[in-house]
Amino acid sequence: MERSGKIPILFLGDDIGQATAGSEQHLSFLLWNLPRERFEVYFALLRNGQGLPPDFSPVTPEILNLHSFKKPSEVFQAVRMLRRLIREHSIEIVQAFFPDSEFLASLAMLNGIGCQKVIARRNMGHSDSRLLLCRNRLTGKLSGSYLVNSEAIKRRMVLREHIAPERIKIIYNPVNHKRIAEGMAVPPERSRWGLAEGDLIVGIVANVRPVKDYQTFLKAAALVAGKVKSSKFMVIGEADEDYWRDLRPLTESPQLIDRIVFTGTVANPFPLIRLFDIGVLSSTSEGLSNSLIEYAAAGISIVATDVGGNREIVEDGRTGFLVPAKSEAIMADRIVELLENPEKRREMGARGRVAALAKFSQEGVLYEYQTFYTSLARSGPKGSWGMRG
Protein backbone atom coordinates (compact mmCIF):
# COMPACT_ATOMS: atom_id res chain seq x y z
CA MET A 1 0.00 0.00 0.00
CA GLU A 2 1.39 3.43 -0.96
CA ARG A 3 2.18 5.63 2.05
CA SER A 4 0.18 8.87 2.45
CA GLY A 5 2.41 10.47 5.06
CA LYS A 6 -0.29 9.83 7.65
CA ILE A 7 0.03 7.37 10.51
CA PRO A 8 -2.39 4.43 10.06
CA ILE A 9 -3.84 3.39 13.44
CA LEU A 10 -6.27 0.56 14.20
CA PHE A 11 -8.50 0.71 17.28
CA LEU A 12 -9.52 -2.74 18.50
CA GLY A 13 -12.35 -3.43 20.97
CA ASP A 14 -14.08 -6.50 22.42
CA ASP A 15 -17.64 -5.31 21.83
CA ILE A 16 -19.65 -2.21 22.72
CA GLY A 17 -22.20 -3.27 25.29
CA GLN A 18 -22.70 0.11 27.00
CA ALA A 19 -21.79 2.99 24.71
CA THR A 20 -22.13 5.44 27.62
CA ALA A 21 -19.57 3.66 29.85
CA GLY A 22 -16.24 5.38 30.44
CA SER A 23 -13.89 3.31 28.28
CA GLU A 24 -16.40 3.19 25.45
CA GLN A 25 -16.83 6.97 25.60
CA HIS A 26 -13.08 7.42 25.36
CA LEU A 27 -12.74 5.06 22.41
CA SER A 28 -15.51 7.01 20.64
CA PHE A 29 -13.73 10.28 21.47
CA LEU A 30 -10.52 9.11 19.80
CA LEU A 31 -12.32 7.72 16.76
CA TRP A 32 -14.02 11.06 16.19
CA ASN A 33 -11.32 13.52 17.17
CA LEU A 34 -7.92 12.30 15.98
CA PRO A 35 -7.04 14.74 13.17
CA ARG A 36 -7.40 13.04 9.79
CA GLU A 37 -4.66 15.16 8.27
CA ARG A 38 -2.20 13.26 10.49
CA PHE A 39 -3.84 9.86 11.05
CA GLU A 40 -5.67 7.21 9.03
CA VAL A 41 -8.12 5.72 11.51
CA TYR A 42 -9.44 2.13 11.34
CA PHE A 43 -11.72 0.27 13.76
CA ALA A 44 -12.37 -3.41 14.54
CA LEU A 45 -14.43 -5.31 17.10
CA LEU A 46 -14.10 -8.90 18.24
CA ARG A 47 -17.88 -9.38 18.22
CA ASN A 48 -21.38 -7.84 18.41
CA GLY A 49 -21.08 -4.82 16.16
CA GLN A 50 -24.77 -4.82 15.26
CA GLY A 51 -25.94 -2.81 18.27
CA LEU A 52 -23.39 -0.02 17.86
CA PRO A 53 -25.05 3.42 18.15
CA PRO A 54 -24.83 5.27 14.81
CA ASP A 55 -23.01 8.22 16.38
CA PHE A 56 -20.43 6.06 18.16
CA SER A 57 -17.87 6.10 15.37
CA PRO A 58 -17.34 7.73 11.98
CA VAL A 59 -15.57 4.51 10.95
CA THR A 60 -17.47 1.28 10.26
CA PRO A 61 -15.89 -1.49 12.34
CA GLU A 62 -14.65 -4.77 10.92
CA ILE A 63 -16.02 -7.68 12.98
CA LEU A 64 -13.54 -10.47 13.76
CA ASN A 65 -16.16 -12.95 15.08
CA LEU A 66 -14.20 -14.07 18.13
CA HIS A 67 -16.62 -15.07 20.89
CA SER A 68 -14.43 -17.33 23.01
CA PHE A 69 -10.76 -18.18 23.41
CA LYS A 70 -11.93 -21.72 24.20
CA LYS A 71 -12.64 -22.22 20.49
CA PRO A 72 -9.27 -22.58 18.72
CA SER A 73 -10.80 -22.29 15.26
CA GLU A 74 -12.32 -18.90 16.14
CA VAL A 75 -9.06 -17.70 17.66
CA PHE A 76 -7.05 -18.81 14.62
CA GLN A 77 -9.48 -17.12 12.23
CA ALA A 78 -9.54 -13.88 14.27
CA VAL A 79 -5.74 -13.77 14.38
CA ARG A 80 -5.65 -14.22 10.60
CA MET A 81 -8.21 -11.47 10.06
CA LEU A 82 -6.38 -9.06 12.37
CA ARG A 83 -3.03 -9.73 10.68
CA ARG A 84 -4.70 -9.25 7.28
CA LEU A 85 -6.10 -5.87 8.39
CA ILE A 86 -2.68 -4.78 9.62
CA ARG A 87 -0.98 -5.73 6.35
CA GLU A 88 -3.77 -4.49 4.08
CA HIS A 89 -3.76 -0.99 5.57
CA SER A 90 -0.07 -0.89 6.52
CA ILE A 91 -1.12 -0.29 10.12
CA GLU A 92 1.66 1.18 12.26
CA ILE A 93 -0.17 1.17 15.62
CA VAL A 94 -2.81 -1.19 17.01
CA GLN A 95 -4.53 0.14 20.12
CA ALA A 96 -6.52 -2.52 21.98
CA PHE A 97 -9.27 -1.61 24.43
CA PHE A 98 -10.46 -4.28 26.91
CA PRO A 99 -8.83 -7.58 27.98
CA ASP A 100 -9.80 -9.92 25.13
CA SER A 101 -8.63 -7.43 22.50
CA GLU A 102 -5.37 -7.05 24.40
CA PHE A 103 -4.76 -10.78 24.33
CA LEU A 104 -5.75 -11.19 20.67
CA ALA A 105 -3.44 -8.35 19.63
CA SER A 106 -0.61 -10.04 21.51
CA LEU A 107 -1.27 -13.36 19.76
CA ALA A 108 -1.46 -11.68 16.35
CA MET A 109 1.93 -10.05 16.83
CA LEU A 110 3.83 -13.03 18.23
CA ASN A 111 5.63 -13.66 14.93
CA GLY A 112 6.42 -10.01 14.34
CA ILE A 113 4.28 -8.03 11.94
CA GLY A 114 6.02 -4.67 11.87
CA CYS A 115 3.68 -2.47 13.91
CA GLN A 116 3.30 -1.22 17.46
CA LYS A 117 0.81 -2.50 20.03
CA VAL A 118 -1.01 -0.14 22.38
CA ILE A 119 -3.11 -1.56 25.23
CA ALA A 120 -5.53 0.86 26.95
CA ARG A 121 -5.85 0.35 30.71
CA ARG A 122 -8.68 2.49 32.03
CA ASN A 123 -9.84 0.79 35.23
CA MET A 124 -8.34 -0.55 38.46
CA GLY A 125 -8.93 -4.20 37.57
CA HIS A 126 -11.51 -4.52 40.37
CA SER A 127 -13.24 -7.47 38.67
CA ASP A 128 -10.16 -9.23 37.29
CA SER A 129 -10.06 -12.95 38.00
CA ARG A 130 -6.86 -14.79 38.88
CA LEU A 131 -6.83 -16.22 35.34
CA LEU A 132 -7.13 -12.75 33.81
CA LEU A 133 -4.35 -11.44 36.05
CA CYS A 134 -2.09 -14.28 34.87
CA ARG A 135 -3.03 -13.53 31.27
CA ASN A 136 -2.27 -9.84 31.77
CA ARG A 137 1.15 -10.68 33.20
CA LEU A 138 1.84 -12.85 30.18
CA THR A 139 0.73 -10.06 27.86
CA GLY A 140 3.01 -7.71 29.78
CA LYS A 141 5.99 -9.81 28.78
CA LEU A 142 4.98 -9.34 25.13
CA SER A 143 4.52 -5.54 25.38
CA GLY A 144 7.04 -2.75 25.72
CA SER A 145 5.06 -0.16 27.70
CA TYR A 146 1.56 0.87 28.79
CA LEU A 147 -0.67 3.92 28.54
CA VAL A 148 -3.10 4.55 31.42
CA ASN A 149 -5.42 7.39 32.44
CA SER A 150 -4.54 7.87 36.12
CA GLU A 151 -1.67 7.68 38.58
CA ALA A 152 -3.75 5.22 40.62
CA ILE A 153 -3.89 2.69 37.77
CA LYS A 154 -0.16 3.05 37.22
CA ARG A 155 0.58 2.32 40.88
CA ARG A 156 -1.71 -0.72 40.84
CA MET A 157 -0.07 -2.14 37.70
CA VAL A 158 3.38 -1.75 39.26
CA LEU A 159 2.23 -3.64 42.37
CA ARG A 160 0.03 -6.36 40.81
CA GLU A 161 1.64 -6.98 37.43
CA HIS A 162 5.21 -6.01 38.31
CA ILE A 163 5.46 -3.56 35.41
CA ALA A 164 8.40 -1.15 35.72
CA PRO A 165 7.09 2.41 36.31
CA GLU A 166 9.09 3.82 33.43
CA ARG A 167 7.12 1.59 31.04
CA ILE A 168 3.82 3.27 31.96
CA LYS A 169 2.67 6.60 30.51
CA ILE A 170 -0.37 8.57 31.72
CA ILE A 171 -2.79 10.55 29.55
CA TYR A 172 -5.91 11.80 31.34
CA ASN A 173 -9.51 11.70 30.09
CA PRO A 174 -10.60 14.95 28.43
CA VAL A 175 -13.46 17.28 29.15
CA ASN A 176 -15.80 16.40 26.27
CA HIS A 177 -16.55 19.77 24.64
CA LYS A 178 -19.16 18.30 22.29
CA ARG A 179 -21.21 16.82 25.15
CA ILE A 180 -20.95 20.03 27.14
CA ALA A 181 -21.92 22.24 24.19
CA GLU A 182 -24.91 20.02 23.39
CA GLY A 183 -25.86 19.94 27.08
CA MET A 184 -25.65 23.71 27.45
CA ALA A 185 -27.97 24.14 24.46
CA VAL A 186 -30.75 22.21 26.23
CA PRO A 187 -32.66 24.17 28.92
CA PRO A 188 -32.82 22.34 32.28
CA GLU A 189 -36.28 20.80 32.79
CA ARG A 190 -37.09 20.61 36.49
CA SER A 191 -40.82 20.09 36.01
CA ARG A 192 -40.30 17.07 33.74
CA TRP A 193 -38.71 15.25 36.67
CA GLY A 194 -41.06 16.52 39.35
CA LEU A 195 -38.53 18.96 40.80
CA ALA A 196 -39.56 22.33 42.22
CA GLU A 197 -37.50 25.53 42.04
CA GLY A 198 -36.53 25.40 45.69
CA ASP A 199 -35.38 21.78 45.67
CA LEU A 200 -31.71 21.08 46.36
CA ILE A 201 -30.59 18.32 43.99
CA VAL A 202 -28.00 15.72 44.97
CA GLY A 203 -27.20 13.71 41.84
CA ILE A 204 -25.11 10.77 40.73
CA VAL A 205 -24.17 9.77 37.18
CA ALA A 206 -23.06 6.12 37.16
CA ASN A 207 -24.40 2.89 35.74
CA VAL A 208 -26.28 1.06 38.49
CA ARG A 209 -23.95 -1.84 39.19
CA PRO A 210 -22.15 -3.15 42.28
CA VAL A 211 -18.80 -1.38 41.82
CA LYS A 212 -20.64 1.97 41.97
CA ASP A 213 -21.90 0.98 45.46
CA TYR A 214 -25.36 2.48 45.24
CA GLN A 215 -26.16 1.05 48.68
CA THR A 216 -23.85 3.65 50.21
CA PHE A 217 -25.30 6.46 48.09
CA LEU A 218 -28.90 5.54 48.94
CA LYS A 219 -28.18 5.11 52.65
CA ALA A 220 -26.44 8.48 52.67
CA ALA A 221 -29.37 9.99 50.76
CA ALA A 222 -31.81 8.74 53.40
CA LEU A 223 -29.72 10.38 56.14
CA VAL A 224 -29.54 13.63 54.19
CA ALA A 225 -33.30 13.57 53.56
CA GLY A 226 -33.89 13.48 57.33
CA LYS A 227 -31.78 16.62 57.85
CA VAL A 228 -32.41 18.77 54.77
CA LYS A 229 -36.12 18.86 53.96
CA SER A 230 -35.67 20.47 50.53
CA SER A 231 -33.22 17.81 49.33
CA LYS A 232 -34.06 15.62 46.34
CA PHE A 233 -31.95 12.91 44.70
CA MET A 234 -31.36 12.04 41.05
CA VAL A 235 -29.82 8.82 39.67
CA ILE A 236 -28.64 8.77 36.04
CA GLY A 237 -27.44 5.48 34.57
CA GLU A 238 -28.27 2.10 33.12
CA ALA A 239 -29.36 -0.44 35.73
CA ASP A 240 -28.17 -4.00 36.20
CA GLU A 241 -31.52 -5.71 36.83
CA ASP A 242 -30.40 -8.08 39.59
CA TYR A 243 -28.52 -5.36 41.44
CA TRP A 244 -31.42 -2.96 40.98
CA ARG A 245 -33.78 -5.51 42.52
CA ASP A 246 -31.55 -5.69 45.60
CA LEU A 247 -31.71 -1.90 45.93
CA ARG A 248 -35.52 -1.69 45.92
CA PRO A 249 -35.95 -1.76 49.74
CA LEU A 250 -33.66 1.27 50.00
CA THR A 251 -35.28 3.25 47.18
CA GLU A 252 -38.75 2.56 48.58
CA SER A 253 -37.92 3.51 52.16
CA PRO A 254 -40.11 6.22 53.78
CA GLN A 255 -37.23 8.71 53.57
CA LEU A 256 -36.71 8.33 49.80
CA ILE A 257 -39.93 7.02 48.23
CA ASP A 258 -41.03 10.50 47.08
CA ARG A 259 -37.62 12.15 47.03
CA ILE A 260 -35.63 10.22 44.41
CA VAL A 261 -35.73 10.33 40.60
CA PHE A 262 -34.34 7.58 38.34
CA THR A 263 -33.78 8.70 34.76
CA GLY A 264 -32.33 5.49 33.33
CA THR A 265 -29.77 5.73 30.53
CA VAL A 266 -29.19 9.22 29.17
CA ALA A 267 -26.97 9.63 26.11
CA ASN A 268 -25.78 13.04 27.29
CA PRO A 269 -26.37 13.66 31.01
CA PHE A 270 -24.98 17.20 30.97
CA PRO A 271 -28.38 18.98 30.86
CA LEU A 272 -29.33 17.05 34.02
CA ILE A 273 -25.97 17.63 35.69
CA ARG A 274 -26.72 21.34 35.40
CA LEU A 275 -29.64 20.76 37.77
CA PHE A 276 -27.35 19.33 40.47
CA ASP A 277 -26.37 21.30 43.54
CA ILE A 278 -23.95 18.51 44.47
CA GLY A 279 -22.51 15.71 42.33
CA VAL A 280 -21.79 12.44 44.13
CA LEU A 281 -19.83 9.30 43.31
CA SER A 282 -19.94 6.38 45.77
CA SER A 283 -17.79 3.83 43.89
CA THR A 284 -15.55 1.29 45.57
CA SER A 285 -13.18 1.37 42.57
CA GLU A 286 -12.46 3.96 39.86
CA GLY A 287 -9.79 4.53 37.25
CA LEU A 288 -10.50 8.12 36.27
CA SER A 289 -14.19 9.04 36.43
CA ASN A 290 -15.74 10.87 33.49
CA SER A 291 -18.66 11.73 35.76
CA LEU A 292 -16.42 13.59 38.20
CA ILE A 293 -14.75 15.44 35.34
CA GLU A 294 -18.16 16.48 34.01
CA TYR A 295 -19.40 17.56 37.45
CA ALA A 296 -16.30 19.72 37.79
CA ALA A 297 -16.60 21.13 34.26
CA ALA A 298 -20.19 22.11 35.08
CA GLY A 299 -19.03 23.99 38.18
CA ILE A 300 -20.74 21.53 40.55
CA SER A 301 -19.26 20.85 43.99
CA ILE A 302 -18.45 17.17 44.55
CA VAL A 303 -18.63 14.53 47.27
CA ALA A 304 -16.84 11.35 46.18
CA THR A 305 -15.23 8.27 47.67
CA ASP A 306 -11.46 8.40 48.03
CA VAL A 307 -10.72 5.51 45.67
CA GLY A 308 -8.64 5.07 42.52
CA GLY A 309 -8.07 8.25 40.56
CA ASN A 310 -10.80 10.31 42.27
CA ARG A 311 -8.27 12.42 44.18
CA GLU A 312 -6.65 13.29 40.85
CA ILE A 313 -9.88 15.16 40.03
CA VAL A 314 -11.19 16.29 43.43
CA GLU A 315 -8.98 18.37 45.71
CA ASP A 316 -10.35 17.55 49.16
CA GLY A 317 -11.69 20.62 50.93
CA ARG A 318 -11.07 22.87 47.92
CA THR A 319 -13.10 21.61 44.95
CA GLY A 320 -15.16 19.08 46.90
CA PHE A 321 -14.89 16.44 49.58
CA LEU A 322 -13.36 12.97 49.51
CA VAL A 323 -14.78 10.38 51.92
CA PRO A 324 -13.88 6.76 52.73
CA ALA A 325 -15.63 4.10 50.64
CA LYS A 326 -18.71 2.46 52.20
CA SER A 327 -19.06 5.28 54.76
CA GLU A 328 -22.60 6.54 54.30
CA ALA A 329 -22.61 8.58 57.53
CA ILE A 330 -19.50 10.56 56.55
CA MET A 331 -20.80 10.98 53.01
CA ALA A 332 -24.13 12.25 54.36
CA ASP A 333 -22.41 14.71 56.70
CA ARG A 334 -20.38 16.20 53.83
CA ILE A 335 -23.45 16.48 51.60
CA VAL A 336 -25.41 18.20 54.38
CA GLU A 337 -22.51 20.58 55.03
CA LEU A 338 -22.57 21.69 51.40
CA LEU A 339 -26.35 21.86 51.11
CA GLU A 340 -26.46 24.12 54.16
CA ASN A 341 -23.64 26.35 52.89
CA PRO A 342 -24.53 27.64 49.40
CA GLU A 343 -21.53 30.00 49.27
CA LYS A 344 -19.13 27.13 49.99
CA ARG A 345 -20.86 25.06 47.27
CA ARG A 346 -20.46 27.83 44.73
CA GLU A 347 -16.82 28.50 45.62
CA MET A 348 -15.88 24.81 45.44
CA GLY A 349 -17.72 24.39 42.14
CA ALA A 350 -16.04 27.46 40.62
CA ARG A 351 -12.56 26.29 41.68
CA GLY A 352 -13.29 22.80 40.38
CA ARG A 353 -14.38 24.12 36.99
CA VAL A 354 -11.19 26.16 36.53
CA ALA A 355 -9.04 23.18 37.55
CA ALA A 356 -10.90 20.69 35.33
CA LEU A 357 -10.81 22.86 32.20
CA ALA A 358 -7.06 23.30 32.67
CA LYS A 359 -6.03 19.77 33.67
CA PHE A 360 -8.40 17.86 31.40
CA SER A 361 -8.65 20.17 28.39
CA GLN A 362 -9.64 18.36 25.22
CA GLU A 363 -7.01 20.19 23.18
CA GLY A 364 -4.27 19.26 25.63
CA VAL A 365 -5.29 15.60 25.76
CA LEU A 366 -5.47 15.35 21.96
CA TYR A 367 -2.05 16.96 21.68
CA GLU A 368 -0.62 14.38 24.09
CA TYR A 369 -2.12 11.53 22.04
CA GLN A 370 -0.78 12.94 18.79
CA THR A 371 2.67 13.35 20.28
CA PHE A 372 2.54 9.84 21.74
CA TYR A 373 1.40 8.17 18.51
CA THR A 374 3.91 10.11 16.40
CA SER A 375 6.85 9.17 18.61
CA LEU A 376 5.62 5.58 18.67
CA ALA A 377 5.46 5.36 14.88
CA ARG A 378 8.92 6.85 14.54
CA SER A 379 10.44 4.44 17.06
CA GLY A 380 9.56 1.36 14.97
CA PRO A 381 8.27 -2.04 16.14
CA LYS A 382 10.95 -2.63 18.76
CA GLY A 383 9.81 0.32 20.85
CA SER A 384 6.29 -1.01 21.33
CA TRP A 385 3.93 0.53 23.86
CA GLY A 386 0.85 -1.00 25.44
CA MET A 387 -2.53 0.36 26.71
CA ARG A 388 -5.55 -1.50 28.28
CA GLY A 389 -9.10 -0.33 28.95
Tens place of pLDDT for every residue, the chain, 389 residues?
445 689 999 999 998 877 777 788 889 999 999 999 999 999 999 997 666 888 899 999 999 999 998 999 999 999 999 999 999 999 999 998 888 888 888 888 877 676 777 777 877 776 677 777 777 776 766 666 688 999 999 999 888 888 888 888 899 999 988 888 888 888 888 989 999 999 999 999 999 999 999 999 999 999 999 999 999 999 999 998 899 999 999 999 999 999 999 999 888 899 999 999 999 999 999 999 999 999 999 999 999 999 999 999 999 999 999 999 999 999 999 999 999 999 999 999 999 999 999 999 999 999 999 999 998 887 765 434 344 33
Rounded Cα–Cα distance for residues 156 and 152 (Å)? 6
DSSP string, 172-234: PPPP-HHHHHHHHTSPP-TGGGT--TTPEEEEEES-BSGGG-HHHHHHHHHHHHHH-TTEEEE
Common-topology check for domains 7-173+362-387 and 177-359: yes
Is residue 118 classed as helix, strand or coil in its secondary structure? strand
Which is nearest to 238 in space by CA: 208, 197, 201, 204?
Answer: 208
Is residue 377 classed as helix, strand or coil in its secondary structure? helix
Pick the CATH number of 7-173+362-387 from 3.40.50.1950, 3.30.565.10, 3.40.50.2000, 3.40.50.2300: 3.40.50.2000
Q: Can you give the residue ranges of every domain in the chain?
A: 7-173+362-387, 177-359
Tell me which H or E stretch contains 278: strand 278-281
DSSP string, 311-373: GGT--BTTTEEEE-TT-HHHHHHHHHHHHT-HHHHHHHHHHHHHHHHHHT-HHHHHHHHHHHH
Which is nearest to 183 in space by CA: 300, 345, 318?
Answer: 300
Global pTM reads: 0.87
Q: Which CATH architecture has domain 177-359?
A: 3-Layer(aba) Sandwich (3.40)
Check residue 2 and give its pLDDT: 47
Q: Answer for the pair 42, 10: CB distance below 8 angstroms, yes or no.
A: yes
Q: Answer for the pair 227, 255: CB distance below 8 angstroms, yes or no.
A: no
Which is nearest to 190 in space by CA: 265, 274, 125, 266?
Answer: 274
Cα end-to-end span (Å), the chain? 30
Check residue 205 and give its pLDDT: 96
